[in-house]
Amino acid sequence: MSKSTKENMIETMAILLQKQGYHGTGLNEVIQVSGSPKGSIYHHFPGGKEALAVAAIQWTQEQVHSYLTMQLAKEKTANTAIAKLIEDSANQFDEGTYFRGVPMIALTLENASSSEAIRLACKEAFEDWERLIAEKLMDGGLHEAEALRRASVIHSMMQGAAAISFAKQSSEPLRLVATHISI
C-alpha cells in the first residue's frame, strides 16, 4: 500500500531533519524529495514548517518506540537487553544505517529557545523512550521511581554516546557505553 502525500511529507521531513537539521531543511526541498504537489504542505500543515517538523518528530518517536520495544523484548534481563540494544545501535552506525532519534538532540538544541512546539515534541519523544527502558528495568524488579531515574541516566548515556559517535565518525563511544553499562 502506498503512502499518502501527508505521510510521505512527514517521513521525508524526518529524514531531512535527521540529516541536516531544522534550519538546513527547506519546504521546497521537502516537496522536491517527497515528490508532493507544491500546495500540499500548507494544505496538510497549516502551521507550515514548524507543524511539519513536529509531525516528523512524532513519526521519529514512533519509529524509535517500535525499535526499542522490539530490541528490549529480545533479552530476559534488563542489563543484557540494554547492552545489546546499544551494541545493535553501534552495528547500525558502522553499517551506515543508524538514524534513529539521535538528531533529536540537535533539534532540541537548535530550537529549544525558538520553538516551544518543537521543544515539547522532542521532550515527549525522550520521555517515551525513557519509559520503555524503565519498564524493562521494572520487569527486573526495580521500583518505578528508581527505574525512571536509571532509565533517564541510561538514555542520556546512549544519546550522548551516539552524538559523540557522529562527531568522531566511530561507533566506539556507543560500544564503550554498551560494555560499561551496569544496571
1 within some domain: no
149 within some domain: yes
| Counted domains in the chain | 1
**Predicted pLDDT at 2:** 74
**Predicted pLDDT at 34:** 95
6 within some domain: no
Residue identified by cell 529480545 is: 74
**Burial (CB count <10 Å: 0-12, 13-18, 19+), residue 76:** exposed
24 within some domain: no
* Segments forming the whole domain that contains residue 146: 56-180
Task: Identify the CATH number of the domain in which residue 132 sits.
Answer: 1.10.357.10
131 within some domain: yes
26: left (phi over 0), alpha (psi -120 to 50) or beta: beta
**Predicted pLDDT at 64:** 92
Q: At what angle do helices 103-111 and 5-20 cross, to 10 degrees?
A: 80
DSSP 4: P
| Regions in the chain scoring below 70 on pLDDT | 1, 99-103, 183
19 within some domain: no
77 within some domain: yes
20 within some domain: no
Alpha helices in 21-143 (DSSP H): 27-34, 40-44, 48-73, 78-95, 103-111, 116-139
Contact in structure between 149 and 82 (CB atoms under 8 Å) = no
**Predicted pLDDT at 38:** 84
What cell numbers appear for 183 in the block? Answer: 544496571
CA pair distance 29, 16, nearest whole angstrom: 9
